[in-house]
Amino acid sequence: MTRLTFRRGDAVVIAAILAASIALTAAFVLSARRGAAASVEIRQNGEVLAVLPLDEDAEFTVGGAYTNVIEVRGGEVFFAESDCPGQDCVHSGAVSAAGRSLVCLPNRVEVRITADSPDENAVDGVAG
Protein backbone atom coordinates (compact mmCIF):
# COMPACT_ATOMS: atom_id res chain seq x y z
CA MET A 1 0.00 0.00 0.00
CA THR A 2 1.37 3.39 -1.02
CA ARG A 3 1.39 6.15 1.55
CA LEU A 4 0.45 9.66 0.40
CA THR A 5 2.64 12.52 1.55
CA PHE A 6 1.82 16.20 1.96
CA ARG A 7 3.93 18.39 -0.34
CA ARG A 8 4.60 22.10 -0.70
CA GLY A 9 2.43 22.24 -3.84
CA ASP A 10 -0.52 20.90 -1.83
CA ALA A 11 -0.23 23.82 0.58
CA VAL A 12 -0.23 26.27 -2.36
CA VAL A 13 -3.41 24.73 -3.78
CA ILE A 14 -5.14 24.81 -0.38
CA ALA A 15 -4.14 28.45 0.14
CA ALA A 16 -5.46 29.39 -3.34
CA ILE A 17 -8.79 27.68 -2.67
CA LEU A 18 -9.13 29.44 0.71
CA ALA A 19 -8.31 32.85 -0.84
CA ALA A 20 -10.86 32.32 -3.61
CA SER A 21 -13.57 31.29 -1.15
CA ILE A 22 -12.89 34.33 1.06
CA ALA A 23 -13.05 36.65 -1.96
CA LEU A 24 -16.33 35.13 -3.16
CA THR A 25 -17.87 35.33 0.31
CA ALA A 26 -16.87 38.99 0.64
CA ALA A 27 -18.33 39.79 -2.79
CA PHE A 28 -21.59 38.02 -1.90
CA VAL A 29 -21.92 39.81 1.45
CA LEU A 30 -21.26 43.23 -0.10
CA SER A 31 -23.80 42.68 -2.89
CA ALA A 32 -26.41 41.45 -0.39
CA ARG A 33 -25.93 44.54 1.77
CA ARG A 34 -26.37 46.82 -1.21
CA GLY A 35 -29.69 45.16 -2.08
CA ALA A 36 -32.44 47.00 -3.89
CA ALA A 37 -33.12 50.66 -3.36
CA ALA A 38 -36.12 51.05 -1.07
CA SER A 39 -38.80 53.65 -0.44
CA VAL A 40 -41.16 54.34 2.43
CA GLU A 41 -44.79 54.50 1.36
CA ILE A 42 -47.15 56.25 3.77
CA ARG A 43 -50.89 55.57 3.31
CA GLN A 44 -54.02 56.66 5.12
CA ASN A 45 -57.37 55.03 4.34
CA GLY A 46 -55.65 53.27 1.43
CA GLU A 47 -54.58 56.54 -0.22
CA VAL A 48 -50.86 57.21 -0.72
CA LEU A 49 -49.91 60.39 1.12
CA ALA A 50 -46.15 60.33 0.58
CA VAL A 51 -43.29 58.25 -0.78
CA LEU A 52 -39.91 58.91 0.87
CA PRO A 53 -36.50 57.38 0.15
CA LEU A 54 -35.37 55.05 2.92
CA ASP A 55 -31.76 56.18 2.65
CA GLU A 56 -32.50 59.86 3.45
CA ASP A 57 -33.52 61.14 6.87
CA ALA A 58 -37.00 62.69 6.86
CA GLU A 59 -40.03 63.38 9.01
CA PHE A 60 -43.68 63.28 7.90
CA THR A 61 -46.79 64.19 9.90
CA VAL A 62 -50.16 62.57 9.22
CA GLY A 63 -53.35 64.21 10.48
CA GLY A 64 -56.82 62.77 10.80
CA ALA A 65 -58.65 61.54 13.86
CA TYR A 66 -55.22 61.46 15.52
CA THR A 67 -51.78 62.82 14.64
CA ASN A 68 -48.84 60.56 13.74
CA VAL A 69 -45.24 61.69 13.28
CA ILE A 70 -43.30 59.23 11.12
CA GLU A 71 -39.50 59.42 10.94
CA VAL A 72 -36.99 57.92 8.55
CA ARG A 73 -33.54 57.77 10.20
CA GLY A 74 -30.47 55.72 9.39
CA GLY A 75 -32.22 53.44 6.91
CA GLU A 76 -35.12 52.66 9.27
CA VAL A 77 -38.65 54.02 9.56
CA PHE A 78 -40.74 54.28 12.72
CA PHE A 79 -43.63 56.12 14.38
CA ALA A 80 -41.86 58.76 16.47
CA GLU A 81 -45.00 60.23 18.05
CA SER A 82 -48.72 59.63 18.11
CA ASP A 83 -51.64 60.83 20.18
CA CYS A 84 -53.75 57.72 19.49
CA PRO A 85 -54.95 55.58 22.40
CA GLY A 86 -52.44 52.96 23.55
CA GLN A 87 -49.74 54.18 21.14
CA ASP A 88 -49.09 50.64 19.90
CA CYS A 89 -47.69 52.13 16.69
CA VAL A 90 -45.00 54.02 18.60
CA HIS A 91 -44.11 50.94 20.66
CA SER A 92 -43.84 48.70 17.57
CA GLY A 93 -40.28 49.91 16.88
CA ALA A 94 -38.52 50.46 13.57
CA VAL A 95 -38.42 48.46 10.33
CA SER A 96 -35.79 48.55 7.60
CA ALA A 97 -36.44 45.69 5.15
CA ALA A 98 -38.54 45.79 1.99
CA GLY A 99 -41.97 44.27 2.55
CA ARG A 100 -42.12 45.22 6.21
CA SER A 101 -44.83 47.56 7.44
CA LEU A 102 -46.06 49.47 10.46
CA VAL A 103 -49.65 50.51 11.18
CA CYS A 104 -51.61 52.86 13.38
CA LEU A 105 -55.07 51.28 13.37
CA PRO A 106 -56.95 54.10 15.15
CA ASN A 107 -55.74 56.64 12.56
CA ARG A 108 -55.89 54.12 9.66
CA VAL A 109 -52.24 54.79 8.72
CA GLU A 110 -49.94 52.24 7.11
CA VAL A 111 -46.21 52.73 6.60
CA ARG A 112 -44.69 50.20 4.20
CA ILE A 113 -41.17 49.74 2.84
CA THR A 114 -41.22 48.94 -0.86
CA ALA A 115 -38.27 47.92 -3.02
CA ASP A 116 -37.77 50.01 -6.15
CA SER A 117 -36.52 46.86 -7.90
CA PRO A 118 -37.01 43.30 -6.66
CA ASP A 119 -34.14 41.79 -4.70
CA GLU A 120 -33.65 38.18 -5.83
CA ASN A 121 -31.92 37.31 -2.54
CA ALA A 122 -34.64 38.73 -0.27
CA VAL A 123 -36.35 36.44 2.19
CA ASP A 124 -40.08 36.02 1.51
CA GLY A 125 -40.94 34.89 5.02
CA VAL A 126 -39.66 33.38 8.23
CA ALA A 127 -41.21 30.33 9.86
CA GLY A 128 -40.70 29.16 13.37
Q: pLDDT per residue over 83-98, tens digit each?
A: 999 999 999 999 999 8
| CATH architecture assignment, domain 38-115 | Sandwich (2.60)
Q: pLDDT confidence of 62, banded at 50, 70, 90?
A: very high
**pLDDT tens, 10-51?**
888 899 999 999 988 887 776 555 555 789 999 999 999 999
What is the secondary structure of 26-91 as a DSSP string? HHHHHHHHH---EEEEEEETTEEEEEEETTS-EEEEE-SSS-EEEEEETTEEEEEEE-SSS-HHHH
Confidence at residue 32, expressed as pLDDT on a 0 to 100 scale: 53
Across residues 106-120, what is the average pLDDT?
81
Rounded to two decimals, the pTM is 0.64
Residue type, 115: A
Residue 117 per-residue DSSP state: S
